[in-house]
């Protein structure tokens, strides 16, 4: 309760300063006069709340609550950097405003949801769902349903959907966990958006668990849980096909238990290499994005969950599944060695770099803490008290393909 | 007083549970909600893993559930948790799931 009062006071500060500087205060002060380039949100998973943060002042600005079940929640941003879309586990899609810190619209769109994406031009928002399995596409402004795309891979059988990402040309690509398939939905024809053109790639490999689009929008890579290897699609091909890469990376060895699924996103690419979590191995796999051949493996402290390149690609930061999730390791991409092991707090769930990467924000769920760490010197610049923090999302994602 | 409340909350549906210390019970509740929750949902309503609500598990037997927790389910993403849980602990968790899993006690902060 006390904390909330402090947050409210912090959030109100700019407005009251503005008023204080005025000889005659207008009846209704304008909305908070600030840009949005240094804003972000931290998910407080247990309370169904977003903490709104500023990455320049490294402070909490306020909260947006009433967002439902935010376990495994994720967020995408509109280009204005103020409008965010929150995908809750309970199937709710909420449109919130970071400046007014209010929920503007909210739809209950599925029974069980796992995330979403926003189209290239920002007019469409898509949710990926486990129940009922499929994706739903909404008008980003009104949240009116535009297209319902059940992932029906056999008569009456819907697959859980993972790895949804936006593609150039008003398209979305996603993977079907239960079907071993990758589908591409093309919504570029405004006269036929309710029935988008679907391209279906079957037999891509067993149990895709998540996927990524490379920062140029060209390649889609789905990680496979059910077998050693990943599926790669060259989306610039006229007739895209999936092919296997890194096949058999763990062959001949007993896989270690995977207590949490890794997450893939375009942040895996650093320079010409992609850094990918191995499944069932305490390793990061390094693959050359020109040849798609494995060029190295880096032993790490546990089952990698997030493997994220600093925006300049010089470092790759890795966090881990339980029970190794109190640690974070930093790979130097020039030497391909671990240069640092940090322990920012119990149960590290997520990491997010500031737009140009001078700092990284790390959420430690059980420490109720978000640590802001200097990526050059590795010292802690600030710590913020946040209740069971999970995902950290900055508005700079708005300008990136695949985020 | 908080400890007493915690024991009362946790012990109520678990009269048959083997002796798991209250502190450990609280850890197990948190582990299930938070770590198992990454696949099964913090509210255990399912995700990549199936729902673990009392209703969803109505036709499951406690020993079978305990075995799944310890050994995992080959061919699915469910791992065996024996490196982190003893068999009595898995049994206790299975009993709690069958009875409707306890809420995590939220610390007063």
Residue A117 domain-assigned (yes or no): yes
Q: In chain A, what residues touch B39 (CB-CB under 8 Å)?
A: 260-261
CB neighbours of residue A150 within 10 Å: 15
What pLDDT is stored for residue A330 in this prediction? 98
Q: Which residues of chain A have a pLDDT value below 50?
A: 1-23, 25
Going from N- to C-terminal start, the domains of chain B cover 2-7+22-99
CA atoms of A11 and A4, how far apart (whole Å): 10
**What's the total number of domains in chain A?**
1
Report which of A295, A293, A261 is spatially closest to residue A278, judged by C-alpha positions.
Answer: A261
Q: Is B47 on the interface with A (CB under 8 A)?
A: yes
CA atoms of A156 and A134, how far apart (whole Å): 13
What pLDDT is stored for residue A249 in this prediction? 85
- Separation in Å, CA A60 to CA A152, A317, A351: 43, 24, 17
Contact residues for A28 (Cβ-Cβ < 8 A; gap 6+): none
CA atoms of A263 and A271, how far apart (whole Å): 20
CA atoms of A393 and A354, how far apart (whole Å): 10
Q: How confident is the model at residue B77 (pLDDT cuts 50, 70, 90)?
A: very high
Report which of A81, A65, A88 is spatially closest to residue A8, judged by C-alpha positions.
Answer: A65
CATH number at residue A128: 2.130.10.10
Q: Is A281 on the interface with B (CB under 8 A)?
A: no
Q: How many contiguous H segments (helices) and E segments (strands) does chain B have? A: 5, 0
CA atoms of B109 and B102, how far apart (whole Å): 21
Task: Quote the domain boundaries for residue A120.
Answer: 109-248
* Shortest distance, CA B11 to any CA of chain A (angstroms): 23
Residue A361 domain-assigned (yes or no): no
Residue A307 domain-assigned (yes or no): no
8 Å CB contact of A112 and B47? yes
What pLDDT is stored for residue A32 in this prediction? 56
What pLDDT is stored for residue A173 in this prediction? 98
What pLDDT is stored for residue B107 in this prediction? 53
What pLDDT is stored for residue A266 in this prediction? 86
8 Å CB contact of A207 and B77? yes
CA atoms of A389 and A46, how far apart (whole Å): 8
Compute CA A281 distance to the chain's CA centroid, rounded to the nearest angstrom.
Answer: 23
Report which of A72, A61, A65 is spatially closest to residue A96, judged by C-alpha positions.
Answer: A65
What pLDDT is stored for residue A10 in this prediction? 45
- Residue from the list B34, B43, B48 with its beta carbon closest to the beta carbon of A160: B48
DSSP A301-355: SS-EEEEEE-TTSSEEEEEE-TTSTT-EEEEETTTTEEEEEE--SSSEEEEEE-T
pLDDT in tens, B4-49: 544 444 444 444 446 899 999 999 999 999 999 999 999 999 999 9
Q: What is the pTM of this model?
A: 0.89
ipTM, interface predicted TM-score of the complex:
0.81
Reply yes or no on domain B2-7+22-99 having CATH 2.40.50.140. Answer: no
pLDDT in tens, A234-272: 999 999 999 999 998 876 678 899 999 999 998 899 999
pLDDT at B50 over 70: yes
What pLDDT is stored for residue A46 in this prediction? 85
CA atoms of A67 and A80, how far apart (whole Å): 21
Q: Is B92 on the interface with A (CB under 8 A)?
A: no
Report which of A101, A104, A51 is spatially closest to residue A73, judged by C-alpha positions.
Answer: A51
What pLDDT is stored for residue A29 in this prediction? 53
């Amino acid at each position: 309760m006390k904390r909330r009062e402090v947050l409210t006071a912090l959030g109100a500060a700019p407005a009251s300063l503005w008023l204080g500087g005025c000889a005659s205060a207008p009846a209704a002060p304008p909305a908070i006069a600030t840009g949005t380039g240094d804003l972000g949100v931290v998910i407080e998973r247990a309370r169904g709340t977003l903490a709104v943060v500023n990455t320049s002042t490294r402070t909490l600005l306020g909260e947006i609550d009433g967002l439902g079940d935010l376990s495994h929640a994720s967020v995408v941003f509109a280009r204005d950097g103020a409008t965010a879309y929150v995908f809750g586990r309970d199937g709710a899609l909420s449109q919130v405003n970071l400046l007014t810190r209010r929920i503007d619209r909210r739809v209950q769109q599925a029974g069980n949801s796992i995330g979403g994406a926003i189209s290239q031009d920002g007019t469409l928002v898509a949710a990926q769902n486990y129940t009922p399995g499929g994706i739903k596409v909404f008008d980003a402004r009104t949240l009116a349903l535009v297209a319902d795309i059940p992932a029906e891979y056999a008569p009456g059988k819907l697959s859980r959907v993972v790895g949804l990402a936006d593609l150039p040309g008003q398209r979305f690509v996603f993977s079907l966990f239960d079907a071993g398939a990758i589908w591409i939905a093309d919504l570029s024809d405004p006269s036929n958006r309710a029935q988008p053109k679907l391209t279906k790639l079957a037999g891509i490999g067993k149990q895709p668990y998540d996927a990524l689009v490379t920062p140029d929008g060209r390649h889609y890579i789905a990680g496979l849980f059910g077998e050693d290897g990943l599926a790669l699609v060259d989306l610039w091909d006229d007739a895209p096909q999936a092919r296997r890469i890194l096949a058999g990376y763990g062959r001949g060895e007993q896989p270690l238990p995977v207590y949490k699924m890794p997450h893939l996103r375009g942040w895996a690419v650093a320079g010409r290499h992609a850094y990918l979590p191995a499944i069932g191995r305490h390793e990061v796999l390094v693959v050359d994005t020109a040849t798609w051949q494995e060029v190295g493996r880096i032993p790490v402290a546990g089952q990698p969950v997030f493997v994220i390149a600093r925006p300049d690609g010089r470092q790759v930061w890795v966090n881990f599944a339980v029970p190794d999730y109190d640690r974070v390791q930093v790979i130097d991409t020039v030497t391909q060695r671990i240069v640092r092991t940090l322990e920012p707090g119990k149960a590290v769930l997520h990491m997010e770099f500031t737009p140009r990467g001078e700092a990284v924000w790390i959420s430690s769920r059980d420490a109720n803490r978000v640590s802001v760490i200097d990526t050059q010197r590795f010292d802690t610049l600030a710590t913020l008290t946040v209740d069971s923090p999970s995902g950290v999302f900055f508005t700079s994602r708005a300008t990136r393909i695949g985020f | 007083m908080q400890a007493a409340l915690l024991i009362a909350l946790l012990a109520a549906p678990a009269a048959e549970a083997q002796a798991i210390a209250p502190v450990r019970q609280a850890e197990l509740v948190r582990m299930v909600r938070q770590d198992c929750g990454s696949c099964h949902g913090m509210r255990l309503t399912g995700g990549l893993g199936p729902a673990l609500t009392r209703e969803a598990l109505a036709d499951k037997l406690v020993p079978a559930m305990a075995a799944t927790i310890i050994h995992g389910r080959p061919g699915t993403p469910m791992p065996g948790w024996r490196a982190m849980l003893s068999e009595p602990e898995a049994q206790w968790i299975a009993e709690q799931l069958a009875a409707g899993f306890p809420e995590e006690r939220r610390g007063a902060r």
